[in-house]
Structure 1
Amino acid sequence: MTATDRAVELVQVAAEAAADKLAQEVIAYDVSEQLVITDAFVLCSAPNDRQVRAIVDEVEDQLRIKAGAKPLRREGERDGRWVLLDYSEIVVHVQHEEERGVYGLERLWKDCPEIDLPEKSRGAERTPLDEQ
């Protein structure tokens, strides 16, 4: 089983919206074979809480405008360190770069297939220090 066409469409819109707000290292995984609750994860980060919130707002706006999608849940907004947007077919994780380094979601989901994103959607690359 692989991510549905609708899930891939939502991933593309979310990734582009995140990159438009200068999200760092936008990546998406097809988690449909591992989880029954969603098809894909979109991961990205930002260097400060304010930018995390800006990315979240843009992703939510663009998914509503371009794909007619509304999140079922929005968690973590108060702290602005790790905001999760649950759209059922996809889950978008926008993390402060410190949280991204600590929790390492890429390490948890590295065995899942990566969903191809357009180059402009990948966002800024992380520095080698971020990988530690």
Structure 2
Amino acid sequence: MESKQLLEMVVKAADGRRAEDIVALKVDEISPMADYFVIMTGGSDRQVQAIANAIIEKAHEDQVNIGSVEGKNHAKWVLIDLGDVVVHVFREETRSFYNLEKLWSDAPVVNVDEWVND
């Protein structure tokens, strides 16, 4: 699966669990770690876990290799490494504290609106 297709899969799975403020950053030209970082917010610990589980389940369905999943038990910040796409699912206060969008501000933002239901 190409990284752009993987990005679409992640965004759709997250949106299906009502992830908020989904932001995708194209980091391939500034970091060798991945092609995209996807950052999103869940309104509660339970929702953060549900979003992460939906992404993981969809990755399994699509036979996408999952490198690692970190933070799922604490549900303040769950990191899902899908290789070319690294997903960050945050609680709002944790997202504000770490402010990854500012840290990676050199990365162009990818328009994911076409994959998100309003």
Partner of 1:63: 59
The structure carrying a bigger strand percent of its residues is 2
User: What's 1:49 paired with?
Assistant: 45
Q: Secondary structure at the match of 1:59?
A: helix
Using structure 2 for the length normalisation, give the TM-score. 0.91
For structure 2, which runs of at least 5 residues remain unmatched after alignment? Answer: none
Gaps of 5+ in 1: 124-132
The alpha carbon displacement at 1:122 in A equals 7.1
The residue number in structure 2 matching 1:113 is 108
Identify the residue that residue 16 of structure 2 maps to in structure 1: 20
Per-residue deviation, 1:121 = 2.1
User: Deviation of residue 78 (structure 1)?
Assistant: 1.6
* Aligned-partner Cα distance in 1 for 2:115–2:5: 16
CA RMSD of aligned residues (A): 1.6
Find the counterpart in structure 1 of residue 77 from structure 2.
Answer: 82
Percent of aligned positions that are identical: 31
> In the TM superposition, what is the alpha-carbon distance from 1:70 to its structure 2 partner?
2.8
- Residues 21-68 of structure 1: CA deviation (Å, up to 9, x unaligned): 010101101100111121110110111100000000001111222x32
Match of residue 73 from structure 1: 68
Give aligned pairs, total.
118
1:71-105 per-position Cα deviation (integer Å, ceiling 9, x unaligned): 11000112110000001111000001110111111
Give the structure-1-normalised TM-score: 0.82
Q: Distance in 2 between matches of 1:6 and 1:85?
A: 17
**Poorly superposed stretches of 4+, deviation over 4 Å:** none
